[in-house]
Amino acid sequence: MYLIRVEGDKMSKDLDTLLREKRIFKPSSDVVKSSNIHKWMEKHEINDYDELLQKALDNPDWFWDELAGELEWFKQYKKTKKWNPPYAEWFLDGKFNIVYNALDKHAKGPEKDKLAYIWEGESGEVRELTYLDLYREVNRFANVLKKLGVRKGDTVSIYLPMILELPIAMLACAKIGAVHSVVFSGFWAKAFQERINDAKSKVAITVDGFRRRGKLIELKENVDNILDKTPTIEKLIVVRHEGLNINMQEGKDIWWHEAITEMETECKTEEMDSEDPLFILYTSGTTGKPKGVVHVHGGYAVGIYTTLKFVFDLKEDDVWWCAADIGWVTGHSYIVYGPLLLGVTSILYEGTPDYPDPGRLWKMIENYGVTVFYTAPTTIRMFMKFGEKWPQKYNLDSLRLLGTVGEPINPEAWIWYHQHIGGGRCPVMDTWWQTETGMHIITPLPISELKPGSAVKPFPTVEADVLDDAGKSITGGGGHLVIKSTWPSMFRTLYKDPERYVESYWSRFPNIYLSGDVARRDDEGYFWIQGREDDVLNVAGHRISTAEVESAIVSHKSVAEAAVVGKPHDIKGEEICAFVILKEGSGSTEDFEDIIKYHVRKEIGPIASPAHVKIVKDLPKTRSGKIMRRVIKAKVKGEPVGDTSTLANPEAVEYL
Ligand code: 6R9
């Protein structure tokens, strides 16, 4: 059982306190006692959460040494870290390869016949790989890469949908010391072109085609259109997934299945330096050229291993499903590397969550007995819109823990998730982190008391803070969310752009990491993320966060999702425009404008009440489910919407 403590009114009503939710969810003693973190604390004679956080802050190297010791090093590192802000090095002089720990170790151990991945295609087709199978596939493909001349330090560009060849390709690169650069398959081929050229890859990997909502996307054909603008590419490896009859260019294009046939199922795992690069992942950034975030073998491995073990509490028998795309950092850390480091079984799903109907995810949870499930608030809000009748059709009793990532989760969506998916018994881990951080940074643990809408507290050893413009630490009001310490899976630089690394992240407050998010910390030390700094509204001199207003709107029983942006106003500075998606079956949308305005007035106050409300069918979102307020804002201001190549649903722009 999961206990609920309610203090006072459901919510305070004044502007500054909307997100000080008063509902508190306490984990049951079963959840606490069986958790990995609790057992670890017992071993180290730590009595409670506060003591854990304090002890870790006082002695971060002790904490990380303990966990790094659970992984295998070819050569033991000499020093835990060197922190010369803004430059960090971890596990210095160690020899290590993340793939040895993710794969080789398991393929040689008793868990070799355990399933590493259960893959399900959108059409319902299933493919399973044990740890040994995966090891062999990775080795064969690594041998292909070597044969094509890929060497340690070279960058391989990968443009694949959610099929097993994607983790196989990534692991094969890492195994031989090459650096992978995965480009999300939903992006336009132009994004692939730019990233190939940035990294000067000789080898690229793609697929003949794949389906989304039944619709065929002919990726290879799109790639053909950009290949004459990628001069460094010598070979393009093509996975046959849909069996399309495509044009293969003699001498350049190679079928994956043909290339691997003659390859050995053994391949040497390169002994890397802890600080050698593992991958580049481009993060869109709101303006300008995408930033190539660089992660390394050693520290990255230790960071994601530890967070997955402690936050999502994964144990031997768990069936883990991180329902993100691998083209996003969430997939890199928590579909590919993290779960393999822990040796658990993961689900990999190719398709759309509501295809062919809104029961798809719940049906898969029932079929595979998923125990821990991780998704984005946008997905939860979408399912709220379809109604609880869909999850109710399936038996979700196997679930024991839930998670969210990507955006602030509105308290109402949190409650819905907890109740209708988690059956009221599964703690919800609202994990705040970024491509740059590599791992969870502000997050609950299964032993934490939870407040819906709060990402709770910094992970052990992480020193996060909220600063005002002058750099003073504040409690209560909104401010810059920063990190004052280093952590092992911190990005090391921006690819080929070391100046931008310093400028974008470490200059606003010298030697302090600026996340670019606005957050508030309450007097119990809980963090409430309020969105990106660029999105904060300024109405008549009041700074109002988009998350606050959106959460107030979503707390109306007929609302599924909302996005608010500011529109320039002569007197007020900005006025609030709200775009609202209603739940299915909410009836007439007449008068809704006034109903919403009144509702926000009542929940927060007149200052936050939108000047304009529009009911829409869809909102423009990135592929990782983040609402693209920049695009909405441009529409509202009547300006060109700019680059929409990273949008998942460009047609949504029209609905606005
Ligand atoms: C992992 C990931 C990072 C941005 C981040 C923030 C938002 C992520 C969140 C969250 C509130 C959470 N974000 N998790 N906001 N609560 N639990 O999403 O990486 O794609 O780099 O985005 O996402 O705004 O700054 P990335």
Average pLDDT, the chain: 93
Whether the pLDDT of residue 1 is over 80: the answer is no
Pocket test for ligand 1, best of 184, 626, 627, 630 (most atoms within 8 A of CB): 626
- Among the listed ranges 76-80, 330-334, 420-424, 561-565, which one has the minimum average pLDDT value? 561-565
User: What's the CATH class of domain 131-270?
Assistant: alpha beta
In which band, very low, low, confident or very high, does the pLDDT at 288 lie, cut at 50, 70 and 90?
low
Residues 6+ apart with CB under 8 A from 352: 122, 212, 213, 360
Task: State residue 541's pLDDT score.
Answer: 78
In which band, very low, low, confident or very high, does the pLDDT at 377 lie, cut at 50, 70 and 90?
very high
Contact 103, 89 (CB under 8 A): no
Q: Atom 11, ligand 1: which residue's CA is nearest?
A: 408
Whether the pLDDT of residue 584 is over 80: the answer is yes
Whether the pLDDT of residue 2 is over 70: the answer is no
Instruction: Kindly provide the residue ranges of all beta strands, DSSP E only, lying in 537-610, ordered along the sequence.
Output: 537-539, 542-544, 559-569, 573-582
Residue 626's CB is within 10 A of a number of other CB atoms, namely 20
ipTM computed for the complex? 1.00
The alpha carbon of 210 is separated from its chain's Cα centroid by a whole number of angstroms, namely 23
- d(CA 167, CA 84) in angstroms, rounded, equals 34
Task: State residue 646's pLDDT score.
Answer: 73
Mean pLDDT of 240-250: 96
Residues 6+ apart with CB under 8 A from 131: 103, 106, 107, 111, 112, 113, 114, 115, 116, 343
Task: State residue 321's pLDDT score.
Answer: 98
Q: Which atom of ligand 1 is nearest to the CA of 515?
A: 25
Indicate whether residue 547 lines ligand 1 (CB < 6 A).
no
Mean pLDDT of 641-652: 78
- d(CA 548, CA 557) in angstroms, rounded, equals 17
- Among the listed ranges 148-162, 240-254, 280-294, 451-465, which one has the minimum average pLDDT value? 280-294
Indicate whether residue 294 lines ligand 1 (CB < 6 A).
no
For residue 440, report the distance from its CA to the centre of ligand 1, in Å.
10
Indicate whether residue 12 lines ligand 1 (CB < 6 A).
no
Task: State residue 293's pLDDT score.
Answer: 97
Whether the pLDDT of residue 396 is over 90: the answer is yes
User: Range(s) for CATH 3.40.50.980 in the chain?
Assistant: 131-270
Mean pLDDT of 553-576: 91
Contact 157, 232 (CB under 8 A): no
Write down the pTM of the prediction.
0.92
Residues 6+ apart with CB under 8 A from 288: none
pLDDT in tens, 550-561: 999 999 999 999
Whether the pLDDT of residue 15 is over 60: the answer is no
In which band, very low, low, confident or very high, does the pLDDT at 543 lie, cut at 50, 70 and 90?
confident
| Distances, alpha carbon 19 to alpha carbons 14, 424, 546, in Å | 10, 21, 12
For residue 406, report the distance from its CA to the centre of ligand 1, in Å.
4
- Among the listed ranges 184-188, 309-313, 517-521, 538-542, which one has the minimum average pLDDT value? 538-542
In which band, very low, low, confident or very high, does the pLDDT at 287 lie, cut at 50, 70 and 90?
low
List the one residue out of 523, 588, 401 whose CA is nearest residue 22. 523
Indicate whether residue 55 lines ligand 1 (CB < 6 A).
no
Whether the pLDDT of residue 542 is over 90: the answer is no
Q: Which atom of ligand 1 is nearest to the CA of 330?
A: 1
Reported as half-sphere exposure (CB side, CA atoms, 13 A), residue 374 has a value of 28
pLDDT in tens, 441-492: 999 999 999 999 999 999 999 999 999 999 999 999 889 999 999 999 999 9
CATH superfamily for 533-655 is ANL, C-terminal domain (3.30.300.30)
Residue 460's CB is within 10 A of a number of other CB atoms, namely 24
For residue 496, report the distance from its CA to the centre of ligand 1, in Å.
24
Whether the pLDDT of residue 432 is over 50: the answer is yes
pLDDT in tens, 63-73: 999 999 999 99
Task: State residue 4's pLDDT score.
Answer: 43
Task: State residue 421's pLDDT score.
Answer: 98
Task: State residue 14's pLDDT score.
Answer: 39
Task: State residue 423's pLDDT score.
Answer: 97
Residues 6+ apart with CB under 8 A from 330: 322, 324, 374, 405, 406, 624
Contact 418, 402 (CB under 8 A): yes
Q: Which atom of ligand 1 is nearest to the CA of 409?
A: 16
Q: Which atom of ligand 1 is nearest to the CA of 328?
A: 20
Indicate whether residue 530 lines ligand 1 (CB < 6 A).
no
Whether the pLDDT of residue 6 is over 70: the answer is no
